[in-house]
Structure 1
């Protein structure tokens, strides 16, 4: 069955979806709508139809899908208008700028009987899949801490809508929505007891340009989640600690390493002499008493996102991205904002 999708917003992510859709069987673009003349011209150069206004896009009976790829504050309005016009909707993340808005979108989808999903594309990141699969094993012993970070050094670009609060800017809504979604997927079925957050404003006073968040899971595992835009030396993308070993992945789409203990006897370590005195507690294990293992890359195909969307519309599959999960992550981000503003922990799902 062939499907056609109309794109609202032909900026950075709109172009990304355009490129992806060219690689997907049975899915094509009916046209785009954007208020920016530059983006209109670019769409015309690509041979795409440019709708003169939103009504023309919504009235086009050739399309059964709409992609909303606009600034965050417009997601709810445009998604609901699309649903009410009889279209199925793929909305860019975050779904909206509050959990109340997300619920309104869910209600509109239920009322119209149309399909609504959110483009949580980072579920297809290779590094995420590697860690997700690793913690299902006992290679590290008992898991007690997991650290997920993304670091950059250019701040939020001054000419970008993401620097404005009224448009839903800031790093919590930009990268937090991905990182928190990944953690909640890793610990599916487990409650998050406590949220403690610190937000940074190094280069931008209007919105957060970074955050460090500790999530305490019901099992006692602590997940540290961090995004920074003023980090000129990046810390590892993933750092995973168990009772018998540690795993590290330095960056996106890179192989990782697992280091585990072979023993736990007194001969495992030799004291280290520092300038100020000896230490045995912080000395490394002997090389022969540790086991190193490569954490290989996992295959991943982001085309699966749209393939699933089409099969859901055809009644052949369930959605990989459920709106209940989307709403929970939005509520989690609201707890992050609350903790960051008050300096106090938020007891989230206790």
Structure 2
């Protein structure tokens, strides 16, 4: 079948889907938005436009919808779309909580339609470099992975600053960062979740969080985001017993670092440093650390839509399974509980 997509919500992400889904052979059949300005933009861009989701869902030419509306509307729009016989893709987060997701999945199963979520950050090059290092054992036994995302832009925008609409950074980016860690190590079980969540600049919603996941494969994952840290830390750091990997930014600058010759034991003499006498933290001798280039990966965000096309034509399984989406939402709920109680939450 040809995928004929209806876009419900024509803001920034709605426009992104309109511009990029056709690269996978998806036809943009119609768009809708309640905002007259966005309606005019859609018309000027040449799309068939409806002023409401209900009218779009009555269009028999639309067989699939993408929900790019504020987060609190995902459940309502998903169920309406399923009842109209449309296959459903939600922007992330798929739902506000696990209970909502379960209701959405049940509605889609009852209607016999496909249901998935646009977790597009699984195709991010920076993350896939770390995943490749993990999969191929390039760092030996990894004991820690740090995923950090910092911005100096400070304030969020539009509905993202309001709690009732599903605003805040855990919903906006936390859902991605958690999903990336679980996608990277799909066989690892989460032993515990600990989180510190703050609203530094915003009155209602979180703009800083630190989430620590202890996994049963020996890895401790540290996930940190802030909208107001002005000197950005590396996007990724992964350390194992055979080396350390650093990816500095989305542009994938960085290296793998290894010891030229691992010291079997520290020398007996104490080294004087600016911080005083030390052995363990003395400067490494010249040549003691060598660098290697990061592994290369090829990726394309539009592979998400290529997979959707294949799924709807019976050629593949969905790469974004609702069970995986549910697990991410469960971690988010555990993080909120941990931040509220100031305790680690035992998980799986």
1:257 matched to 2:255: yes
Distance 1:277 1:69 in 2: 56
Say if 1:152 and 1:229, in contact at 8 Å, map to a contact too.
Answer: yes
Say if 1:255 and 1:296, in contact at 8 Å, map to a contact too.
Answer: no
Match of 1:160 in 2: 158
Paired residues for 1:129-140 under 5 Å: 129-140=128-139
Secondary structure at 2:223 match in 1: strand
Match of 2:189 in 1: 191
1:16 matched to 2:12: no
The 10-residue stretch of structure 1 (228-237 or 268-277) with the greater mean CA deviation from structure 2: 268-277
Deviation of 1:162 after TM superposition, in Å, equals 0.8
The 10-residue stretch of structure 1 (301-310 or 319-328) with the greater mean CA deviation from structure 2: 301-310
Paired residues for 1:12-91 under 5 Å: 12-25=12-25, 27-91=26-90
The 10-residue stretch of structure 1 (183-192 or 282-291) with the greater mean CA deviation from structure 2: 282-291
Distance 1:18 1:2 in 2: 16
1:318/1:8 CA distance change after superposition, 3 Å: same
After superposition, the CA RMSD in angstroms is 1.6
Say if 2:24 and 2:303, in contact at 8 Å, map to a contact too.
Answer: no
Distance 1:212 1:224 in 2: 7
Distance 1:178 1:248 in 2: 20
Match of 2:114 in 1: 115
1:6 matched to 2:28: no
Match of 1:328 in 2: 327
Distance 2:134 2:271 in 1: 32
Secondary structure at 2:31 match in 1: strand
Distance 2:275 2:102 in 1: 59
Say if 2:9 and 2:32, in contact at 8 Å, map to a contact too.
Answer: yes
Deviation of 1:40 after TM superposition, in Å, equals 0.5
Distance 1:293 1:328 in 2: 35
Distance 1:268 1:45 in 2: 70
Q: Report the number of matched residues.
A: 347
Distance 2:167 2:211 in 1: 18
Distance 1:136 1:265 in 2: 27
Secondary structure at 1:82 match in 2: helix
Query: After superposition, what is the alpha-carbon deviation per residue over 1:60-80, rounded to whole angstroms, capped at 9, x for unaligned?
Result: 111111110000000011011
Distance 1:260 1:43 in 2: 53
Secondary structure at 1:287 match in 2: coil
TM-score by length of 2: 0.95
1:139/1:286 CA distance change after superposition, 3 Å: farther
Distance 2:271 2:41 in 1: 62
Match of 1:307 in 2: 306
The 10-residue stretch of structure 1 (167-176 or 138-147) with the greater mean CA deviation from structure 2: 138-147
Secondary structure at 1:324 match in 2: helix
Deviation of 1:56 after TM superposition, in Å, equals 1.6
Give structure 1 stretches of 5+ with no counterpart: none
Match of 2:206 in 1: 208
Distance 2:241 2:182 in 1: 22
Match of 2:168 in 1: 170
Match of 2:146 in 1: 147
Give structure 2 stretches of 5+ with no counterpart: none
Distance 1:54 1:120 in 2: 23
Say if 2:266 and 2:280, in contact at 8 Å, map to a contact too.
Answer: no
Distance 1:348 1:175 in 2: 21
TM-score by length of 1: 0.95
Say if 1:72 and 1:94, in contact at 8 Å, map to a contact too.
Answer: yes
1:215/1:51 CA distance change after superposition, 3 Å: same
Counterpart selection for 1:220 from 218, 239, 242: 218
